[in-house]
Homo-oligomer: A and B are copies of this chain.
Amino acid sequence: MNFVLAVHGAPHNSNSGEHAIGFANAAIAQGHRIERVFFYHDGVLHGLNSQVTPQGENDLCKAWSELADQGIELAVCIASAIKRGVINAEEQARYEKTSHTLAPGFELVGLGQLVAGIQYADRYIEFPQ
């Protein structure tokens, strides 16, 4: 079966990331496919490359990176992202910022990718907090 997951909460202010990662790994282990993880609202902050994982806490960045290595699309809503400071090299140049801040494995996409994902997938599952 084919899933689209949505992450709406910020890394340190919600369990959105933990829930989505736990679900994705279990689904893959059962032979399902995660078509796309869509990061929206404060969820886009999961894609910020400058985060430092505190000792003794979950390393979400590493977990996302492992999912990306398995070919899962980590799709970050571009409108939500750039106003929160999550930008790739192209947006860095456009807005004349000093650095890009999008972590490897993530990509900025339009809202159309959320809708297309929902239209295409068998299930849409949202992790709000």
Tell me what chain A mostly uses at the interface: helix, strand, loop, or mixed. loop
Question: In the complex, how many residues of chain A place their beta carbon closer than 8 angstroms to a beta carbon of chain B?
Answer: 29
* Cβ-defined partner of A45 (8 Å) among B85, B87, B100: B85
Known: A52-B82, A54-B83, A91-B52. A10 touches B12 (CB 8 A): no
A107 in the interface (beta carbon within 8 A): no
Which residues of A1-59 have CB atoms within 8 Å of chain B's CB atoms?
Answer: 10-13, 41-42, 45, 48-54
Tell me the smallest distance from the CB of A96 to a CB of chain B, in Å.
10
Contacts of A91 in B (CB 8 A): 52
Q: How far is the CA of A86 from the CA of B99 in the complex (A)?
A: 13
Q: How far is the CA of A101 from the CA of B48 in the complex (A)?
A: 10
- Contacts A10-B13, A11-B84, A50-B85 aside, 6 further interface pairs with beta carbons under 8 A come to A10-B84, A11-B83, A12-B42, A48-B85, A49-B85, A51-B84
